Structure 1
Amino acid sequence: MAKLYPSLLSADFLNLQQELKALEEAGVDGVHFDVMDGQFVPNISIGIPILDAVREGTRLPIDVHLMIEEPEKYVELFAEHGADMISVHVEATPHIHRVIEQIKNANVKAGVVINPGTPVDAIVPIIKMVDYILVMTVNPGFGGQSFIGDTVDKLDQLSEVKQRLNLDFDIEVDGGINDKTVQTVIDHGANMLVAGSYFFKQSDYKSVTKTLKG
């Protein structure tokens, strides 16, 4: 069964505590926390004060996705403020090996992210180091986008590498995940699902959690 991490970017921030409680009751596996700097991606989102509030409001694991330039400057900060997992884009730094080491040294799970236009080959040098790989199935920056079908080829490639090298990293997908696309990504090897606008538009979080996790 896949693990589900709803993206808080689509949650009701006016009622964040109630949202977190509802997510816990729905049986999700954690929450996805999108950080955007307006430089690496064309949008600005949430940061440390919101992370503090989320950490205080839930025991669920927090999966922090840094869509920022120079992530090496902020890894320790997000770990200190409650992140359980931190992923960084291979496109965002020339020092991806060092940043992954930073995350591991902060005693949180380390992930690497690849955009739709980035090949799997770009992360081969550090693939044995990471706990999970996040495949963007939309171009990062905004919620509510349509799933890019060609990205399933990367899921196939990662599944093959994982089996061939006998590795145990998780394969996470983010972007356009809904009741129509979820089975496709699971069939191609994804076992961590990020769902944003589709998830939070539902009135019954328990029902949508069951639908997406299978």
Structure 2
Amino acid sequence: MKLLAPSVLSADFWKLGEQIEAVVRGGADLIHLDVMDGHFVPNITFGPVLVESIRRHCKLPLDVHLMIENADRYIPEFVRAGANWVSVHIENNPHIHRTLQLIKDLGAKAGVVINPGTSLYAIEEALHYADFVLLMSVNPGFGGQKFIERSIDRLKKLRQMVNSINPNILIEIDGGIKEENIKQVALAGADVFVIGSGIFSYENIEEQTRRIKEKLISLEAV
């Protein structure tokens, strides 16, 4: 099954509630939230308060991507706020087994994230413990970036690694995913598609969400 996770990083925060409602009506499967602290990545976004607010009004699973330092310290707060999926970076979480186990013990799905410049072998051991892996196809920190074409080869290789180590893992991809490249990304092995500007930059967000979701459904049979 191919899952669609609109990223609110690209939403208009003045209209955040109505835009989330639009992607829900359009058939989104998850709501993706990028949490940045201005240290691990050069940007600052939001914290558990926003997650909690969205949780009160949205029934879809909340997919929280932590681009922060000292993630272990804040994970319990994000799960209490309503995060259903929580992912952390291999690049700044040296005790990845402990961190993934913490997320699971709190009742959320645990994910490991890898940046474009990091060798896939860095997450090989983590694949034994994670519920999903998030492959970044842009350098994290800002929305609206161009898809790094090398990510297709990395995705194919990651698919092989996952199939041999832990076939139950879902592969999520984030960065520059648009209508025009989504088929190529799907055929390379992605299961979950994080899309920001490719949805929220459109005037009719509900219609664009529905169009992408229908395309993903059609790709499931390919």
Same fold? TM cut 0.5: yes
**What is the match of residue 196 of structure 1?**
196
Query: 1:157-196: per-residue Cα shift (whole Å, max 9, x none)?
Result: 1211222235211110100010122111101000100011
Q: Which runs of 5+ in 2 are unaligned?
A: 216-222
AA of the residue aligned to 1:81: A
Name which of structure 1's ranges 162-171 and 194-203 shifts more when overlaid on structure 2: 162-171
Percent sequence identity is 44
AA of the residue aligned to 1:10: S
Query: 1:91-112: per-residue Cα shift (whole Å, max 9, x none)?
Result: 0121111101111111100000
- Contact residue 84 and residue 108 of structure 2 kept, 8 A: yes
AA of the residue aligned to 1:35: V
CA distance in 2, matches of 1:96, 1:164: 20
**What is the match of residue 154 of structure 2?**
154
- Contact residue 127 and residue 165 of structure 2 kept, 8 A: no
Query: 1:67-107: per-residue Cα shift (whole Å, max 9, x none)?
Result: 01111111111001100000000001211111011111111
AA of the residue aligned to 1:32: H
- Contact residue 36 and residue 67 of structure 1 kept, 8 A: yes
Matched, 1:5 2:13: no
- Contact residue 155 and residue 190 of structure 1 kept, 8 A: yes
- Contact residue 62 and residue 85 of structure 2 kept, 8 A: yes
Query: 1:55-74: per-residue Cα shift (whole Å, max 9, x none)?
Result: 11211110000001111111
- Contact residue 110 and residue 130 of structure 2 kept, 8 A: yes
Q: Secondary structure at the match of 1:179?
A: coil
Q: In the TM superposition, what are the counterparts of 1:99-138 in structure 2 within 5 Å?
A: 99-138=99-138
Q: Secondary structure at the match of 2:103?
A: helix
CA distance in 2, matches of 1:61, 1:13: 20
CA distance in 1, matches of 2:123, 2:163: 16
- Contact residue 127 and residue 162 of structure 2 kept, 8 A: no
CA distance in 1, matches of 2:210, 2:26: 9
Shift of 1:204: 2.6
AA of the residue aligned to 1:184: Q
Q: Secondary structure at the match of 2:124?
A: helix
**What is the match of residue 53 of structure 1?**
53
- Contact residue 48 and residue 78 of structure 1 kept, 8 A: yes
**What is the match of residue 33 of structure 1?**
33
AA of the residue aligned to 1:176: G
Query: 1:17-54: per-residue Cα shift (whole Å, max 9, x none)?
Result: 21222121111001000000000000000111111111
CA distance in 2, matches of 1:196, 1:147: 12
Shift in alpha-carbon separation, 1:166–1:43, aligned structure 2, 3 A: closer
- Contact residue 119 and residue 154 of structure 1 kept, 8 A: no
Q: Secondary structure at the match of 1:86?
A: strand
CA RMSD of aligned residues (A): 1.3
Q: Which runs of 5+ in 1 are unaligned?
A: none
Q: Secondary structure at the match of 2:91?
A: helix
CA distance in 2, matches of 1:175, 1:204: 21
Aligned residues: 214
AA of the residue aligned to 1:46: F
